[in-house]
Amino acid sequence: MSPVYINSASCISAQDTLNENILQNLKPENSSRMLKAIDPNYKEFIPPAMIRRMSKTVKMSAVASHYALQEAGISKPDAIIVGTGMGCSQDSEKFLKNVIDNEEEFLTPTFFIQSTHNTVAGQIALGLQCHAYNFTYVNTSSSLEFSFLDAQLQINDGEAENVLAGSTDEQTARTMELYCLNNTIKKETDLPVDYLTSTTDGVIWGEGASFFVLGKDKTAGSYAKLKNIQISNRVDINEVIIFIQDYLTKNDLSAQDIDAVILGFSGDAKSDVYYTKAMEIFPDSAALYYKHLSGEFNTASGFSTFMACHILKEQQIPEVMMINDVKKEEIKTVLLYNHLAGSDHSLVLLEKA
């Protein structure tokens, strides 16, 4: 497939990513079990009567997509594609609670209707009065990558020129309780955590929404060129190096051509070994990590893509993200490697626009 351009990028996260000077104001967090996204003033974007009926993931996505379209100078995209791991879990929990409390009788359908995973893409389309291609991908930690692949296909096939693609996931009380019970989330006794040298299992859980406008043509404000994506559900620890090297070969690159590699170190000792192994391939590249800024969640790769876009555009790497001390005079190529608990491995190749 031909490359496409990322012409705008917007993110709501545990960092103040809606304001300027993003790379200079990043604050790591390693002492909380859960990181909440910083809420913008939703009343500036959504009528108060609608806000009450919206779950957090819908609100975050509505605002992030608004900023992405505004930055790209587009009122209506040719397609809306959203990736999510958990969907509108807040409304799902409310519906299930009603089922139990009312003993499966006299149920109102509202929470059920709003609990479906495609609610986010649908609400964005309703707000824009956009009747174009509308699709949602639910593929755990590779949901955004599948959305990008679809967007790339839409553009390459001439079905669209500008596509709004993004990812979103929210925290909900009951789900977080369950994640604590099954040790997906770290125990209090394991905090604070050193993300790079952790010896305990579990992660600090986050949330957020990231949206991008992908286009066929480069614009004055383009962040990056999206070259290629590869996804594999399972990769054995002994196959990591081959997995990455084969991907580089397919793209006519060597490890020396990668100026920066962004790895998804989450503080989970069991699954972070994949990233430690991957670092062996890139001794001459700037090695970066990011989940101490965003937390781990299904679509955390949206935050890393957002950061990679800013790194390529602004040509600077925040000290707080650096694993090694390799510094390049110019950052032309960035490779993103992510997975969730050892499954759904993704590689995303971005180049300077």
Last residue of a domain, one of 215, 244, 279: 215
Last residue of a domain, one of 178, 197, 215: 215
Q: Which residue, 153, 2, 7, is CA-closest to 70?
A: 7
Task: Give residue for tokens 């992660």.
Answer: 203
Check whether residue 209 and residue 228 sit in a common domain: no
The pLDDT assigned to 137 comes to: 97
Dihedral pair phi/psi, residue 83, rounded to 5°: -110, 135
Check whether residue 190 and residue 266 sit in a common domain: no
CATH code, domain with 98: 3.40.47.10
Check whether residue 156 and residue 258 sit in a common domain: no
Check whether residue 13 and residue 81 sit in a common domain: yes
The pLDDT assigned to 95 comes to: 80
The pLDDT assigned to 32 comes to: 96
Query: Burial of 320 by CB count in 10 Å (0-12 exposed, 13-18 middle, 19+ buried)?
Result: middle
Check whether residue 232 and residue 140 sit in a common domain: no
Q: What one-character DSSP code corresponds to residue 37?
A: P
- Token pair belonging to 24: 């200079």
The pLDDT assigned to 200 comes to: 97
- Token pair belonging to 123: 């609400």
Last residue of a domain, one of 171, 196, 215: 215
The pLDDT assigned to 111 comes to: 76
Q: Which domain holds residue 247?
A: 224-352
Check whether residue 46 and residue 131 sit in a common domain: yes
The pLDDT assigned to 50 comes to: 84
| 68 contact partners, CB below 8 Å, separation of at least 6 | 8, 9, 10, 164, 166, 211, 212, 213
Please give the model's pTM, rounded to 2 decimal places.
Answer: 0.95
Using the CB atoms, write b or e for 26-47: b if 16+ within 10 Å.
Answer: beebeebbbbbbeebebeeebe
**CA contacts within 13 A on the Cβ side of 239:** 9
Check whether residue 169 and residue 266 sit in a common domain: no
Check whether residue 239 and residue 277 sit in a common domain: yes
Check whether residue 51 and residue 116 sit in a common domain: yes
Q: How many domains does the chain have?
A: 2
**Which residue type does 16 have?**
D
Q: How many residues does the chain have?
A: 353
pLDDT in tens, the chain (353 residues): 899 999 999 999 999 999 989 999 999 999 999 999 999 999 999 888 888 888 999 999 999 999 999 999 999 999 999 999 998 888 887 888 888 888 888 777 777 777 888 999 999 999 999 999 999 999 999 999 999 999 999 999 999 999 999 999 999 999 999 999 999 999 999 999 999 999 999 999 999 999 999 999 999 999 999 999 999 999 999 999 999 999 999 999 999 999 999 999 999 999 999 999 999 999 999 999 999 999 999 999 999 999 999 999 999 999 999 999 999 999 999 999 999 999 999 999 999 99
Check whether residue 198 and residue 92 sit in a common domain: yes
Q: Do 29 and 293 form a contact (C-beta atoms < 8 A)?
A: yes
Check whether residue 195 and residue 326 sit in a common domain: no
The pLDDT assigned to 90 comes to: 83
Check whether residue 166 and residue 241 sit in a common domain: no
Dihedral pair phi/psi, residue 302, rounded to 5°: -60, -40
